[in-house]
Structure 1
């Protein structure tokens, strides 16, 4: 499984722009663990980045 492909798929799903074909391909994969790990990392990174930006803007 290609890491870049997993990251692209998770990002597309997070932004809500994933195509139906790609969605079906992702759910035909035998393992969901890579998608879960990348999803948790991306969401955590987003929340931390948002928190840092807010703390920087609002003293």
Structure 2
């Protein structure tokens, strides 16, 4: 049994884990149900947008680094 009440809001760590799992497509049914029952959509949207922006910046940085090393 869990000692968490069902009305307790999700922690930042739980939301971040859900966003990362969603990005990889490996979210469990138990966590998905938890997210829909205890989470707020605006929090997931904001974290999703932030994650996407960070991912794009990271990919662009890696590409620029590789191109500069290659001398292009």
The interval holding the TM-score normalised by the smaller chain is 0.7 to 0.9
Normalising by structure 2, we get a TM-score of 0.74
Structure number with higher relative contact order (C-alpha < 8 Å, ≥ 6 residues apart): 1
Normalising by structure 1, we get a TM-score of 0.88
Q: What is the aligned partner in structure 2 of residue 12 from structure 1? A: 21
Task: Provide structure 2 residue ranges, at least 5 long, that are not aligned to the other structure.
Answer: 1-9
Aligned-CA RMSD value: 1.3
Structure with higher helix content:
1
Aligned residues: 59
Task: Provide structure 1 residue ranges, at least 5 long, that are not aligned to the other structure.
Answer: none
Q: Which has the larger radius of gyration?
A: 2
